[in-house]
């Protein structure tokens, strides 16, 4: 079997074979949008294959979490959206021959695992280890944790494809479950989008092949569209006024300015006196609005590259109701993050697996709370400001912001007054008896050499903490009272990266 990601096919097939032989699988996943979609893809595949399983979530896979996993496992453990950076603890506490890892984060170096353990070039490996970085793919851009999990799900179906799946196996209303698991591609794409893997407005690499399988299965559509968040649910003036992605002068000033712009287009953009949503417009109406936005941007001197960035690829879940937060991959990912950030990952998982009643109601309530907290967080950063170093900027929210959202707040604050988008930002917040660290950078900074995964891992190690992640977004957990030492090391690492 070649599968959607040929370079991962052999690894995915070996992992699927181990899962198929299991009497029970404990699926443990990261508590964020990519982790939740990974868990949903994995759980759906196991359910369709008739393999008994249980799902649990962890904010991070530290030593204590792995000890909990070891105590709870019955047969095979399946780690999704983490595990590659914790292979040392896996070898210490779990049976490598009964552990499957589907991840896309940076694996540990070879000297971190036992001498008889497999290795691949500069990476530690394991018997059942599926990670794009092991086969020359970029885990930060080309394949998410959900993508790695999807490769295994496809391989599992190809090993013993069921003749028929009952309607309850469907993951979108009104859709037919695919015996080859290609319908799970839609969930994997939500994970990739939620993990910020879009580049210049569209997914790249292995993610493209996954999206194509979703289109073949009839659960996903892709099309060129306005590259703004909220096209499904935000009324048009709100959509344009808050569109940081386009920020056209005279339109994105506030809702009133956006409404005046829309009223001048000679289009009927209201229904029953209420502003329509972008998703409710006909294609010719969208074309008119987009063209006028571009014309306004040109008149106001917006640089050509920013105008080009106003258009991207929209990833739409075809079976979901129009103008809802489940229809668009970006908005779906935000809903999932809302459940995960408030320790309700099971709610997000239930929505992913098809619950459109109680679970969706609970998730929507959590999303409302999440948005309020994010707005409060950005205001907090604007009011308190950031501390600027030679090569980074940072703020310490202490216990004034939830540690679970401080990274999102940091990303949203970039570009606001006093926060320089040309400098990496690091955020700190208290998390029990330790500090949660989150770092964010722009794609341009990554192209210039910034690797936040290395910076976080090196700085955390210097203060007896642990860290890692991706080039564009990474994090760490460090002891209290170590911020100054951590920042000094991170700033040095970033300075070296930018100088190379």
pLDDT in tens, 293-343: 999 999 988 888 888 888 999 999 999 999 999 999 999 999 999 999 999
pLDDT, greater one: 404 or 8: 8
- Provide the pLDDT for residue 1: 60
How far is C-alpha 208 from the geometric centre of its chain's CA atoms? Answer: 16
Question: What's the confidence (pLDDT) of residue 364?
Answer: 97
Query: Please, which residues have CB within 8 angstroms of residue 306's CB and are 6 or more apart in sequence?
Result: 246, 247, 297
- Rounded to the nearest 5 percent, the helix, strand and coil shares of the chain are 45, 15, 35
Between the CA of residue 407 and those of 74, 257, 410, what are the distances in Å?
35, 31, 5
DSSP annotation of 98 reads G
| pLDDT band per the 50, 70, 90 thresholds, residue 229 | very high
3-state secondary structure of 26: strand
Q: Do residues 19 and 76 lie in contact, with contact meaning Cβ atoms separated by under 8 Å?
A: yes
Q: What is the pLDDT of residue 242?
A: 78
pLDDT tens sequence across 424-469: 999 999 999 999 999 999 888 999 999 999 999 999 999 999 998 8
Query: Where does the pLDDT of residue 185 fall: very low under 50, low under 70, confident under 90, or very high at 90 and above?
Result: very high
Residue 175's pLDDT band (boundaries 50, 70, 90)? confident
Please answer whether residues 194 and 33 qualify as being in contact, where contact means their C-beta atoms are separated by less than 8 angstroms. yes
pLDDT digits (tens, 9 = 90+) for 380-422: 999 999 999 999 999 999 999 999 899 999 999 987 889 998 9
Q: How far is CA 138 from the centre of its chain?
A: 15
CB contact at 8 A, 209 and 4? yes
DSSP characters for 39-97?
HHHHHHHHHHTT--EEEEEES---HHHHHHHHHH-SSEEEEES--GGGHHHHHHHS-GG
Comparing CA positions, the residue from 271, 278, 262, 283 lying closest to residue 331 is 278
Range 408-438 burial, b when 16+ CB lie within 10 A, else e: bbbbbbbeeeebeeebbbbbbbbbeebbbbb
Cβ atoms of 133 and 144 closer than 8 Å:
no
Q: What is the mean pLDDT of residues 111-131?
A: 95
- What HEC string does 341-383 produce? HCCCHHHHHHHHCCCCCHHHHHHHHHHHHHHHHHHHHHHHHHH
How many C-beta neighbours within 10 Å does residue 285 have? 16
Instruction: Tell me which H or E stretch contains 34.
Output: helix 33-48
Write down the pTM of the prediction: 0.89
Query: Which residue matches tokens 């959206």?
Result: 81
Average pLDDT over residues 130-149: 97
Q: Over 80: is that where the pLDDT of 244 sits? A: no
CA 306 to chain centre: 24
Averaged pLDDT of the chain: 94
């Amino acid at each position: 079997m070649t599968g959607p990601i040929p370079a991962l096919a052999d690894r995915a097939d070996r992992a699927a074979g181990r899962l198929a032989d299991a009497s029970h699988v404990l699926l443990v996943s990261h508590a964020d949008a990519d982790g939740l979609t990974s868990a949903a893809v994995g759980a759906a595949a196991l359910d369709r294959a008739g393999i008994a399983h249980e799902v649990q979530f962890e904010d991070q896979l530290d030593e204590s979490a792995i000890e909990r996993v070891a105590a709870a496992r019955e047969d095979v453990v399946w780690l999704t959206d983490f595990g590659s950076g914790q292979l040392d603890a896996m070898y210490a506490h779990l049976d490598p021959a009964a552990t499957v890892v589907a991840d896309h984060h940076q694996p540990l170096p070879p000297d971190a695992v036992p001498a008889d353990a497999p290795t691949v070039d500069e990476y530690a490996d394991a018997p059942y280890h599926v990670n794009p970085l092991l086969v020359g793919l970029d885990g930060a851009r080309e394949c998410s944790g959900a993508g790695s999990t999807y490769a295994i799900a496809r391989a599992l179906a190809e090993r013993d494809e069921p003749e028929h799946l009952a309607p309850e196996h469907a993951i979108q209303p009104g859709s037919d479950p695919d015996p080859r698991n290609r319908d799970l591609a839609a969930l994997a794409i939500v994970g990739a989008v939620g993990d910020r893997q879009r580049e210049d407005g569209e997914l790249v690499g292995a993610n493209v092949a996954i999206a194509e399988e979703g289109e073949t299965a009839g659960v996903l559509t892709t099309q060129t569209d306005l590259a703004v968040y909220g096209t499904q649910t935000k009324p048009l003036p709100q959509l344009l006024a808050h569109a940081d992605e386009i920020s056209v002068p005279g339109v994105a000033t506030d809702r009133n300015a956006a409404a005046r712009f829309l009223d001048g287009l000679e289009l009927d953009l209201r229904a029953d006196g209420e502003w329509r949503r972008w998703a409710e417009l006909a294609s010719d109406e969208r074309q008119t609005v987009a063209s006028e936005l571009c014309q306004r941007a040109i008149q106001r001197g917006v640089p050509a590259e920013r105008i080009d960035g106003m258009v991207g690829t929209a990833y739409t879940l075809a079976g979901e109701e129009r103008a809802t937060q489940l229809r668009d991959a970006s908005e779906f990912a935000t809903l999932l993050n809302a459940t995960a950030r408030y320790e309700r990952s099971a709610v997000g998982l239930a929505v992913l697996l098809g619950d459109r009643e109680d679970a969706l109601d609970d998730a929507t309530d959590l999303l409302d709370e999440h948005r309020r907290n994010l707005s409060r967080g950005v205001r907090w950063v604007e009011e308190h400001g950031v501390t600027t170093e030679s090569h980074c900027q940072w703020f310490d929210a202490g216990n004034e912001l939830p540690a679970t959202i401080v990274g999102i707040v940091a990303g949203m604050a970039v570009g606001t007054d006093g926060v320089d988008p040309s400098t990496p930002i690091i955020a700190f917040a208290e998390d029990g008896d330790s500090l949660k660290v989150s770092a964010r950078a722009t794609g341009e900074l990554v192209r210039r050499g910034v690797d936040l995964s290395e910076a976080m891992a090196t700085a955390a190690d210097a203060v007896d903490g642990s860290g890692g992640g991706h080039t564009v977004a990474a994090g760490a957990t460090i002891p209290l009272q170590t911020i100054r030492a951590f920042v000094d090391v991170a700033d040095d690492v970033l300075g070296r990266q930018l100088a190379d």
